[in-house]
Amino acid sequence: MKPKCEHTRTQVYSYLDGEMRYFGRIRIWWHLRRCPPCGDGYVFERRFLDKVRHDCTENVPQELLDRLSTFLSQQALDPPGAAPAAEE
Ligand SMILES: [Zn+2]
């Protein structure tokens, strides 16, 4: 696994929680689309969250689920427009 992959995976939870700074999010977003192993991991995270929402709704704050749902939808439909020029 490349160091950048490891870094990306450690940052996925922050990314999903929408609390990473904007440029950090762009970096992760860009990497996930250019690195299939990490992108697959991101898909897994989304499926995991869907399962949590389905099975354990009472244990997860609805506000957090709403934030995640909105954030992930925005990432899928309207990714950051500016091309991150310096990223590999
Ligand atoms: Zn990677």
The CA–CA distances, whole Å, from 20 to 11, 16, 57 equal: 8, 9, 25
d(CA 80, CA 2): 24
pLDDT at 82: 47
In terms of pTM, does the model score above 0.75? Answer: no
9, pLDDT greater than 80: no
Q: What residues have their beta carbon closer than 5 A to ion ligand 1?
A: 5, 35, 38
| Ramachandran angles phi, psi of 78, nearest 5° | -140, 70
Please enumerate in sequence order all residues whose Cβ is within 8 A of that of 83, keeping only pairs 6 or more positions apart, or say none.
none
pLDDT surpassing 80 at residue 16? no
CA of 16 to the centre of ligand 1 (A): 16
The CA distance from 9 to 5, in Å, is 6
- Cα of 56 from ligand 1 centre, angstroms: 30
Q: What is the pLDDT of residue 60?
A: 65
| pLDDT tens, residue by residue, 17-74 | 665 566 677 777 778 788 888 888 777 677 777 776 666 656 667 777 787 777 777 6
* C-alpha 58 – ligand 1 centre gap (Å): 34
